[in-house]
Amino acid sequence: MALPVLRVGLIGNGTVGSAFATALDANQERLAQRLGARLRLTQVAVRHPDRHRGTLAGVRIHDDAESLANDASVDLVVEASGSPDAATWLRRAIARGAAAVSANKQAIAGDRVLLQALADRHPLLHCEAAVAAALPIVRALRDSLDGEEIHNVRGVLNGTTTYILTQIERGARFRDALLLAQEHGYAEADAEADLSGRDAAAKLAILATLAWRRPITVHDVDTKGINGNIVDVVRVAREHGSRVRLVAEAWADDTLHLRVEPKILHPHDVLARAENVVNVVEVHSALAGPLVWYGAGAGGARTASALLGDLLVASRALVGATAGSIAA
């Protein structure tokens, strides 16, 4: 019997979007088996549709992301554009009953409606890829720790600055290290978003929204970044066995505190394990105590992994999948 087909529309085909399209194609059979339905990429919206897109043979390519989001023939919208307009597209898609899967932390962390949907665990909005790439920290806070009281969330959440700081520890110059991070595809289209701390602040806002169940925006985070002046601090810290990292932290006492800033970390601090593009996230909760996640937090394939996982969860919500009955 032919499997039902779910149609996927992709917005963005850069580092993340192209890795996602490649992974979707390479894993077609595996995903169909797991889902009981086929996921077919039917259209892609980009800024420059005339550029060569080798991996998208047979897929309609255009430059109208809004029409893709509104298109009733698209069941799942995957958004990896980095565009500030993406919040509107994601909301439109969900409003008409499609699922929205996004890697765009700024779009989500700047939009109270989407943040409220996350706080409410809306089944059609998913953004694992927006925070720490494949590290399953969004799902952990959304589902696994859903019954818990979260005391605090701390993390090294930006791969670009961690990569730069690691290279400086090894003797590189700030500017050269930034160029390398950009070449690897870790940095945002405007790397100032990484350097200023805005990228980490948006990720923290999403995690805090899930942890404390109310919209917390990127603007609620007290944010400081790094620049070339950090080099001497990094080298002196290294001589003492310590490390400088851009640390994002949120903790609750009478009020909720949210902060991103460069910090000198004790060598035994678990966040000091963040090297190159590795992200580390630590969560303290009432019952589970301290929990730690560790792994690559940027890069095309790493982020595509999270998008695929979200795509399956969202697809199951759409098809109302139920597992077969269990014999008693």
Catalytic residues: 203
Instruction: Name which of 169, 143, 139, 131 is nearest 295 in CA terms.
Output: 131
How near is the Cβ of 232 to ligand NAP at its closest, in Å?
Answer: 29
Q: Which is nearer to ligand NAP, 108 or 258 (CB)?
A: 108
Does residue 18 bind ligand HSE (CB under 6 A)?
no
Instruction: Write the DSSP assignment of 243-285 as a string of letters.
Output: EEEEEEEEEESSSEEEEEEEEEEPTTSGGGG--TTEEEEEEEE
Of positions 94, 135, 150, 187, contacts ligand HSE by CB under 6 A: 187
Rounded Cα distance between 303 and 14, Å, is 12
Determine the length of the chain: 328
Does residue 79 bind ligand HSE (CB under 6 A)?
no
Rounded Cα distance between 96 and 132, Å, is 29
Q: What are the tokens at 113?
A: 């409606």
160 binding partner (options ligand NAP, ligand HSE, none; Cβ < 5 to 8 Å by kind): ligand HSE
Instruction: Name which of 293, 272, 269, 267 is nearest 282 in CA terms.
Output: 293
The order of strands in the sheet holding 5-11 is 60-62, 38-45, 5-11, 76-79, 99-102, 125-126
Cβ atoms 148, 286 nearer than 8 A: yes
Does residue 188 bind ligand HSE (CB under 6 A)?
yes
How near is the Cβ of 224 to ligand HSE at its closest, in Å?
Answer: 17
Rounded Cα distance between 184 and 255, Å, is 39
- Residues that bind ligand NAP in the complex, under the rule CB under 6 A: 11-17, 45-48, 51, 65, 80-83, 85, 103-105, 129-130, 133, 185-186, 188-189, 298-299, 303
Cβ atoms 93, 68 nearer than 8 A: no
Does residue 160 bind ligand HSE (CB under 6 A)?
yes
Q: Tell me which residue has its CB nearest to ligand NAP.
A: 14
Does residue 159 bind ligand HSE (CB under 6 A)?
yes
Rounded Cα distance between 194 and 61, Å, is 29
194 binding partner (options ligand NAP, ligand HSE, none; Cβ < 5 to 8 Å by kind): ligand HSE
| Binding string, residues 113-152; x marks residues near ligand HSE by CB under 6 A | --------------------x-------------------
How near is the Cβ of 212 to ligand NAP at its closest, in Å?
Answer: 23
Candidates 6-14, 25-33, 185-193, 288-296; binding stretch for ligand HSE (CB under 6 A): 185-193
Does residue 158 bind ligand HSE (CB under 6 A)?
yes
Cβ neighbors of 324 (< 8 A, separation 6 or more) are none
Q: Which is nearer to ligand NAP, 101 or 208 (CB)?
A: 101
DSSP structure class, residue 221: S
Q: Which is nearer to ligand NAP, 42 or 104 (CB)?
A: 104
How near is the Cβ of 282 to ligand NAP at its closest, in Å?
Answer: 20
Q: Compute φ and ψ for 279, nearest 5 degrees.
A: -100, 150
Number of residues that bind ligand HSE (CB under 6 A): 11
How near is the Cβ of 180 to ligand HSE at its closest, in Å?
Answer: 12
| Binding string, residues 283-302; x marks residues near ligand HSE by CB under 6 A | --------------xx----
Conformation bin of residue 125: beta by default, left when phi > 0, alpha when psi is -120 to 50: beta
- Helix, strand, or coil here: 161? helix
How near is the Cβ of 181 to ligand HSE at its closest, in Å?
Answer: 7
Does residue 102 bind ligand HSE (CB under 6 A)?
no
Candidates 52-60, 153-161, 263-271, 311-319; binding stretch for ligand HSE (CB under 6 A): 153-161
User: What type of residue is 243?
Assistant: R
Contacting positions for ligand HSE (CB under 6 A): 133, 158-160, 186-188, 194, 199, 297-298
